Structure formats: C-alpha cells, structure tokens
Structure 1
Amino acid sequence: MHLSWKKTFAIFFGGQVFSILTSFMVQFSIVWHLTVTTGSAAVLMIAGLCGFLPQALLGPFSGVWLDRWNRKMTMIVADSTIALFSLILGACYLLGEPGLGIIYAILAIRSAASSFHAPAFQAAIPLIAPENQLTRVAGWHQTILSFSSVIGPAIGIAAYSASSLGTVLLLDVAGALIANLMLVFVKIRQPKPQVVQAPSFAAEFRQGWEEFFAVKPIVTVTIATAIFGIAFMPLATLFPLMTLSHFGRGGYSASLVEAAFGIGMILGGAMLSVLATKWKDTAFMSVSLTVIGMTCVLSGIIPGSVFAGFVVLSFVMGAAAPLYNGPFMAMIQKSFEPEKLGRVISLVTSFTLLSSPIGLATAGPIVDKYGVQSWFLGSGVVIVLTGMLLLLKFQRK
C-alpha cells in the first residue's frame, strides 16, 4: 500500500509538473510581451485582473460542482479548455498581432478554467495520499511550484526571444496534453456523494459555507492568510522598486533578488518534505510568518549600501514561504471529508486571491508618500504579529 500510493502519486503529479511549468512560461511571456509592445501600466493591470479575478469570483460557486463531478475528469476538461484557448491565442499571434480585447478575453477564460482545475487537483490529493503524508506531499508541491516559478520564466523568455509568443503558447498546449495523458493512467477513487436526494445547488452552496465556518481552526488560519496576503502580496511588485530606488541598482541586481527568493522557495519546499512529520502544521505556519515578517522588517531598515544583505534576506524570505503555504493546504485536506473538500478549497482560494488587490490598493499611496521601505517595515510588523498570535492561539488549544 505504501509503495502503491507513491507510484500512483508519481504518475499523477509527474504529469501536472509539465502543466505547471508551461503555465509559468506563458504567464511571464504574456506579461513581458505586453510590457514590450505597449509599455502601459494600465494594460498590465487589466491583464493581471483578467488573469485572477474570474478565478477569485467563481471560486465560491465552482466548489459545489467540484464536489459533484469526477475530479479526474474535471482536471482533464479544465486543462483541455486552458490548452484550447492557448492554442487559439497562439494561432492569433502566429497569424498576426491580436487586439488587446482578444488577449483579455482569453486570459479571463483561462482563469475561469483554473477555478476548476486548481481546487480539483488539491481535492484529489487526499484521495491518493495517506492523511499522515499530506504535509510531506504539500512540501513536494511547493518545491515544484517554486522550481517552476524560477525556471518557467527563464525558459519562457528564451523561447519568446528565439521565436515568438505564439510558440510559447503552443508549448503550453503540449504541457496540458502530457498532463492529461498521464492522468488517463491514474485511478482516483471518487468520494461518495453526500446527498442521496436530487441535489440543490443553493443548498450545497450554503452547506459549503456552513462546513467551512464549522471548523474554527481553518477559519482562524484563513483570516491570518488574508491578513498575510494583504501585507505580503504587494512586495512581489515592490522588490524591483526597492532594488532601484533604495539601493540604486539596475535590472541585473533586480533579477538577482528574484533568483535568490526563488531558490529559497525551492529549498524551503524540500525542507518541508523532510521535516513534515516533526512539527504540527500550525507550528510550521507560525514560524514561517515570524521569519517572513522579520526579514521584511530588516529589509525596511537596511542601509542602501548593503545590497548583499537584501539578497540574503530575500533568500531567507523565500525559504520560509513554503512552510506556510504547504501546511495550510495540508491542514484543510485533513480537516474535511473528501466529498466536501472541493467547496472548502474553492472558498479559501477565493479569499486568498481577493486579498491581493486590497493589498495593492493600500500599498500604492503609502509607498508613493513614504517610500518603498515603509511598506517593507510596516508589512513586516503586521506579519510578525500575525504569526505570534497564531502561535499563541494554537498553543493554548
């Protein structure tokens, strides 16, 4: 049994690696292409909203269907839909330059399909892996995500520079096809339906919220995650500005900071896989928030002459991130029955996605008035306090 689930999971997850990697390639390549061809911040903002808002808004509703449908087939259909529209957009670029309206529409459709694929993937994991291995599996997942976030953009920009955006999009189609082909050979048991009578969408939708609020530890951690997202998500766009305005460095130095953060994430995910059974999930999350918050605080007070120190802090910050994301998802997977998991994961995903625009809208005026270091310092204090409160709450229990 021990070897059996590992073999099944290797095939299941091995195929998804191709899809994850090519998705990162496409994501970065489209942003880069729009940057080069338009040079418009407004265009990039609209493209970003099209890329995540449909997933955030559909999440609370898509979970109901996820718990009704076969999760394996849901993943195949969702990934095939993403691949189809990547193919359409790729063909548009190979034939000529499509209008921005077409790009926005296809990004929104891809995001809508992701609102089914990502939760179905996470909800399928407990149907394959034993419960006592879910945190370790989350570590593997975080390692692959981190690796793809570093390697994907590099491969994507290389393919884009050597050929065109159309070629990169066709590679995304190939990644989805490989993922779906490997899924065909995986047997994933379908959880028993929760209701015998004819299902009511409204009743199941309401039940999903009730199930979520009934598990108080998950509600607490989700609130902490939303606070963390509001404070931390803007830093993704502020790292280059920090490098330029505070340290007076150029593009090479900015890429060095991004690489240090990404390599840290890879090692953090690997560390979680090794230490998965040593601590409780909430202990990992509390330590992660405390370390991330402290690195933000130090980044906010570091002198402009110590750029090497900022690179090291970025590495440590990246290494701590998987210690939160992985255990959080494992905690959810352990807390709910498989037939309810799709709704809960979709709800939580929507909450976390919607925290990003709130953080960005808040950070903009503060950074403009007080400087980029002010957000690093302030967000660091908020994150440290959140981590400490989380630790105290669960220690008391």
Structure 2
Amino acid sequence: MRTFLVIWIGQVISIIGSGLTSFALGVWIFQQTGQATPFAITVLFGTLPRILLTPLAGSLADRWNRRWLMILADSGNALVTLVVVFLVMTDSLQVWNIYLVALAGALFAAFQEPAYTASITMLVPKKDLARASGLMQVAQSMEMLVAPLLAGILFGVIGLRGIVLIDFLTYFFAVGALLIVRIPQPPLTTQAEQDGRGRIWRDALFGWQYLRQRRGLFNLLLYFALVNFLLNLASVLTGPLVLSFSTPAVLGAVQTATGFGMLIGSLVLGVWGGPKRRIYGVMGFIGLGSLAVLVIGLRANPFWIAGGFFVFLFSIPIASGLSQAIFQTKVAPDVQGRVFAIRSLISRSIMPLAFLMAGPLADQVFEPLMQAGGLLAESLPGTLIGVGAGRGIGLMFVISGILLMVATGFAFLNPSIRNLEIELPDALPEETLTKPMPEQVPPVTALAED
C-alpha cells in the first residue's frame, strides 16, 4: 500500500488546487452571466474528452508504462492551468476561454484516469481494493471539503490570480510523487497478446466484446449510464440553485458540507470495505442517494440543501467504490486499461445529453413554469416546493430523484445484475501478481502512433 499512498497524497494535493480554481471560476461565470446554461456548457466541455477518448486512453494504459502516462497527463494539465494564470493576470479572461480550458484539461484527464485506475490493481492486494477505492473517493471529497473554504478565504486575500497560481504549483506534488515510485506492469497473457496489442480500434473492440461476454457487468454499466444521466441533469445546476437565492459564501458552505459528506462516506468505505455481496451495497447506497437528490429540491434553504447534499455525497462514493472493486475483481489485470476505458465510455455515454439539456430546461422551461403566475405555480409542484427564483431547478432535482429510485428498483430486479458476483468467476487472484514485467518507459513520440 505504501506506493499507492505516495501517489494518492500527490493526487490529493493537486486535486485540492484544481478545486480552488474550479470554485472561483464557477462564481465568476455566474456573476458574469446570471444563467445556468454556461455552468452546464462548462461541465459538458469538461466531460466530452473523457468519453470520446476513452478507447484510445484505455488502449494506451495497457500498451505503455502507466506511471509515465500519468506523468505526461498531469504535466499537460499543469500547462493548461498555466494558461489560465496568464489569462487572469492579463485581465483577458472570457467565458469562452473557460470552455476551452475545461476541454483541454479533460483531454489530459482522459488519459490519466484509466492508467491510474488500472495501476491500483498492481499495487493493492485483492482484499484491500474496496479500501483503496474508498481512499480515491476521499481524494475527491477533499476537493469539495477543503477547496471551497480555502477559496473563500484566499479570494479576499490574494484574489483570483493568486488562486490559479497555487493550482499550478500543486501539480508539482502530483508529478513529483509519480517520479519517485515504481508501478509494476502486469505480465501479458496469450489472449492479451493476440487480441489486445493490435491497433486502437481493435483494442476498443476487445474491451467491448470482453464486457458483452459478461452479461452482468454489461447490464450494470447500462444502469450506471442511466444513473449518471439523471444525477447530472440536476447536480450540474447546483451553483445556480444556491446562487438564485443566496451568496457565493453560502454556496461555498454548501459545497463544504457536500465534501464533508463525501469524505465521511469515503472513510466509511475505506475502513469498512463494504458488504460481502458488494452489489447489494451498490444498489442500496444509490437508492439512498436518489432519495437525497429528491430532498435537495424541496426547499430554497441552504441548511436543507446542504443536508441533502451531505447524504447524497455520503452515499455515492460508497456505491462507486464498491462498483470499482467489483470490476477490478472480475476483469483480468492485463486488460483492465482497455476494459475500464469501454466501461467509462458506456457509463458516461449519455452524460453529455444531460449537460446539453440541463441549462436550457432550467432557463427556458422549469424556471418560467415555477415563477409566480407560471403554469405550475398554483399546482401540486408549486404547493410542495414553492415558487420563485431557483424553484424550477428545485423541481428538476425532485424529478431526477424519483426517476433514480425507479431505475434502481428495476436494476435490482434484474437477476444478471443482482447475481453477477456469484455467476461470474473472479479474474484476480487473492494477492497482487508478484512477477510483473520490467518497467518500460515509452518514447514521447509514441503518443502520435495509431
């Protein structure tokens, strides 16, 4: 676990730095536009590369040295942040600049993620995979817990310029941690040599066929795709929801409560490790999270919203970490880069649609319907959650939560999902492999191949 923890600490510091900039730029966008759509567009640009490039990224994670792939990706993200530093310091920052920055940052993150995830299997014993996944969720929760508080304090002291400069400096911790460790490469199986070392399109096809041949995993991914769509249709509008009736400081407090919930959930998973039947934990905690999403939309009250987000983000890292452990156990280590790439592609496939729909639905449909005198103001929704600014977004949260609960119920009734841990044999031995391939450093020019 020591090598994993060194990498993890470097990533935590870098993630917190990114969170500082993300929070500050999000407030700046709403102050400039006053609309929900720019929020959704920013998230869309920050997600598309992760979806479109996953087959290529997964193939590279299996072809090349994973440590160096992560180093190159983190270095690229550092350069993107440096561009933001320049734009802010020259007072040249525009909303459309942020779209491009989000796009470029997500491009590098698309290559970092499968390499990071696949590396964990080579570093952590099988029995500790769920705990390692919990620690990865802790890293994300630290961004939401620490970054808003720090950003609120630093914004008044050093301003936006100082914040983005700190973000740039934190990347040296992530890259430095990777430079001082060694990540074993998995030995190749005959099947991997024949099916997985061809051209990029063949690697993508291999990952697709691998999952299609394992019905339970494939159906679980289809369920995750629907979950991601419904969650993001609402959660991408968190900033506009809170800022519609309150201040950036309150938004920071809500995000801190959100991060605290994610931290507690991640720590619970890291200590507990999850139930013996992990799929029950996945379904149960997604169900709890969907109820919290519904609650968030019921009141235009920061304490109510913060409480809902606490429960929501307490549940999601546990469900996500347990799901991650299931896939790490059922997928052979030497093909996890390609398979996990297709896994991400499927589970995130309709998220862009949620981002495209969320802003216009909020600004053009639900917000007008829930204003005083709107078509729904005097009906059950208006009576239940109130009318006025932000109540249309609140109704979107309520609808998303209800649909999530229904989808989770149907998924649990599907025997191929419910019984996949029993019906599908493990592909991972009890301990991590002890005779990995020697580490190979790929040439930088290989990035242009295929």
Superposition TM-score tier, normalisation by shorter sequence: 0.7 to 0.9
2:166 — aligned with what? 171
Alpha carbons of structure 1 residues 108 and 288: separation in structure 2 relative to 1, 3 Å: same
2:410 — aligned with what? 389
Q: Is the 8 A contact 1:115 1:346 kept in 2?
A: no
Q: Are residues 1:117 and 2:112 paired?
A: yes
Q: Is the 8 A contact 1:71 1:124 kept in 2?
A: yes
1:31 — aligned with what? 26
2:209 — aligned with what? 210
Q: Is the 8 A contact 1:142 1:322 kept in 2?
A: yes
Alpha carbons of structure 1 residues 326 and 44: separation in structure 2 relative to 1, 3 Å: same
| Consecutive unaligned residues in structure 1, runs of 5 or more | 1-5
Q: Is the 8 A contact 1:233 1:356 kept in 2?
A: yes
1:188 — aligned with what? 183
After the TM superposition, which of the residue ranges 7-16 and 357-366 deviates more from structure 2? 357-366
Q: Is the 8 A contact 2:294 2:397 kept in 1?
A: yes
- SS in structure 2 at match of 1:192: coil
After the TM superposition, which of the residue ranges 9-18 and 357-366 deviates more from structure 2? 357-366
Alpha carbons of structure 1 residues 165 and 56: separation in structure 2 relative to 1, 3 Å: farther
Q: Tell me how far apart the structure 2 counterparts of residues 311 and 330 of structure 1 sit (CA, whole Å).
A: 29
Q: Is the 8 A contact 2:148 2:253 kept in 1?
A: no
Q: Tell me how far apart the structure 2 counterparts of residues 226 and 233 of structure 1 sit (CA, whole Å).
A: 11
Shift of 1:48: 3.1
Shift of 1:206: 1.3
Q: Tell me how far apart the structure 2 counterparts of residues 259 and 109 of structure 1 sit (CA, whole Å).
A: 27
Alpha carbons of structure 1 residues 91 and 258: separation in structure 2 relative to 1, 3 Å: closer
Q: Are residues 1:144 and 2:139 paired?
A: yes
**Which one-letter code corresponds to 2:203 in the other structure?**
E
Q: Is the 8 A contact 2:27 2:248 kept in 1?
A: no
Equivalent position to 1:293, from 290, 299, 313: 290
Alpha carbons of structure 1 residues 69 and 166: separation in structure 2 relative to 1, 3 Å: farther
Shift of 1:144: 2.1
**Which one-letter code corresponds to 2:323 in the other structure?**
F
Q: Number of residue pairs matched? A: 388
Q: Tell me how far apart the structure 1 counterparts of residues 300 and 99 of structure 2 sit (CA, whole Å).
A: 41
CA RMSD of aligned residues (A): 2.9
2:199 — aligned with what? 200
Alpha carbons of structure 1 residues 180 and 58: separation in structure 2 relative to 1, 3 Å: same
1:263 — aligned with what? 260
Shift of 1:69: 1.1
Q: Tell me how far apart the structure 2 counterparts of residues 243 and 106 of structure 1 sit (CA, whole Å).
A: 25
After the TM superposition, which of the residue ranges 88-97 and 262-271 deviates more from structure 2? 88-97
Q: Deviations over 1:265-285 (max 9, x none)?
A: 111111111221533221111
Shift of 1:249: 6.1
| Consecutive unaligned residues in structure 2, runs of 5 or more | 370-375, 377-391, 421-450
1:3 — aligned with what? none
- SS in structure 1 at match of 2:187: coil
Q: Tell me how far apart the structure 1 counterparts of residues 140 and 346 of structure 2 sit (CA, whole Å).
A: 20
**Which one-letter code corresponds to 1:179 in the other structure?**
A
Pairs within 5 Å for 1:278-357: 278-299=275-296, 304=299, 310-357=305-352
**Which one-letter code corresponds to 1:327 in the other structure?**
L
2:399 — aligned with what? 378
1:272 — aligned with what? 269
**Which one-letter code corresponds to 1:313 in the other structure?**
G
Q: Deviations over 1:282-313 (max 9, x none)?
A: 1111111221223334556x5x5987555433
**Which one-letter code corresponds to 2:109 in the other structure?**
S
Q: Tell me how far apart the structure 2 counterparts of residues 100 and 378 of structure 1 sit (CA, whole Å).
A: 30
Pairs within 5 Å for 1:225-240: 225-239=224-238
Q: Deviations over 1:95-153 (max 9, x none)?
A: 44245555443332221111001221111111100111111111111122112222123
- SS in structure 2 at match of 1:321: helix
Shift of 1:367: 2.9
2:220 — aligned with what? 221
Alpha carbons of structure 1 residues 203 and 221: separation in structure 2 relative to 1, 3 Å: same
What's the TM-score, normalizing by structure 1?
0.86
Q: Tell me how far apart the structure 2 counterparts of residues 168 and 256 of structure 1 sit (CA, whole Å).
A: 18
- SS in structure 2 at match of 1:367: helix
Q: Tell me how far apart the structure 2 counterparts of residues 242 and 102 of structure 1 sit (CA, whole Å).
A: 24
After the TM superposition, which of the residue ranges 220-229 and 46-55 deviates more from structure 2? 46-55
Q: Is the 8 A contact 2:40 2:355 kept in 1?
A: no
Q: Is the 8 A contact 2:266 2:317 kept in 1?
A: yes
